[in-house]
Chain A
Amino acid sequence: MTQVLERPVRPAAPTAAERTARRRAVLEWIAVHSLGVAAALFFVLPFVFVVLTSLMSDQQALTRDLIPRTWEWGNYAQVFDTPGFLTWWRNTLLYAGLGTVLTVVSSVPVAYALAKFRFRGRNLTLMLVVSMMMLPPQVVIIPMYLFWAKQLDLSGTLWPLIIPMAFGDAFSIFLLRQFLTTIPDEYLDAAKVDGCGELRTLLRVVLPMAKPGIAAVALFQFFYAWNDYFGPQIYASENPGAWTLSYGLESFKGAHHTDWNLTMAATVLVMAPVILVFFFAQKAFVEGVTLTGVKG
């Protein structure tokens, strides 16, 4: 409406300066978006080539061709029929699923205490949490392996990877703590005035408000377990019945050393769930990355 009314009042003819400014804006739009498309190709083409190869015949996958001559959807069925592949799926879901639940349950109270309680040694505790977060897992692997394998006789299983998650994960504690400090104290005080103890305050007031933070932690932990290669290599390598997808995928390549088509199909099947989960939970994920990175 306003546009119609305003139309008669035509602006004066653009000056030369305005014209160059507009032309520059158009040129900048073109430059930026061409760069964007170029970058998008760099990020997407590897996926495209992997998927295309996964649909080739084994003969064609060894050639320089980029597009399948015949579309071999059966490759995927063949991967699922590989002995062990479904076991790896089950193990990965166990490791990632149970591990994530344990991590969240054990990390939330710790993060809450670090965010909202005042006690001596709080800063020291937080610094130790960050140190644990930055510690390469290989640093303590020798005593840990001896502990799990020799004392508890649990090598050849995933339990040495799952059980520790019941005792707080440093990264999750840190991320959750960052999130919980953003919740105003007034909400907690109000709950206490209403007669809630700390535990009730945490469960009734803080947890509902912390859902995005918990979602981010759960996602990160799920992906961590899904992607973990070192852990299963150390504890599960001796028993193929305990392998996870990430660990089994490599040996899949070993068993089908010239069948790049099947290896790429297996690769797609390991990547796909992560990407699907991401699409459903994009917001929580990106929020988590920013939280751990920027806000101090």
Chain B
Amino acid sequence: MSAPPPSLLDPSIFSSLEAKLEQETQVRDTLSQIVQRLDRAAATAQGLLSRVHSTPRARYPALVAQVEAAVKEEAVIINELEKVASQHPYYKYNNKWSRSIQHAIGTTIYCAWLGGFPSTSSSSEPESASKPAPEIGRLLTLEEVGAIFSVPTNLKDRDAFHLTIEEYLLSLIDLTQDLSRLATNAVTLGDFQLPLTISAFVKDLFAGFQLLNLKNDIIRKRADSVKYEVKRVEDVVYDLSLRGLIQRPTAGDTEMESA
């Protein structure tokens, strides 16, 4: 029609596509390296935590101190991850790290459950009777985990790195699995009270999961397993009460603290 016959494509189209693809590869590589280190740190923490199954309760504090240190290692790496990840749309790359983050959250809440990361007195739960001995069975909230890692949680109106509700929920499910194993092993070590604490805790979590309107996704699939953990712990409690190894609870199943 007019003078210069148009060429099919403006070369800048593909040079900019190429640049974008290359940048994406680079970002992925950087993230992979950080995530790999995070995985190692989480594995270390998890490894330490696995000792709890053969540790009597009196020696929890020593073990917990080690795990706390390992969690702090995780926090350092997570902060590095945050710096890189926050430069890009969160959900563009989040599948690279969400599993590892879930493990890191898991080690943290498990550590706190065993008495680590004591709550800073005045704030948080009013229910905790301020005992000198570390409180066992405490659940860190998502915000508390975020504070330990010093990263934001559940961001909605800002596109940056954060911990998600999904990651937290999945790590809770991991926790129930480990606790049901701990219930058995505590009995083996002669600790007949711990299964009661675990039982009440896992039941409360289960009740919580039942409040969610889950769609057919990963959380649903995983959450379905919680009821089996409840049952496993109940079986342990049943065995103990059948043989009179624990005091009969006075009412219902609210015995967790007891004498």
Do A and B assemble together? no
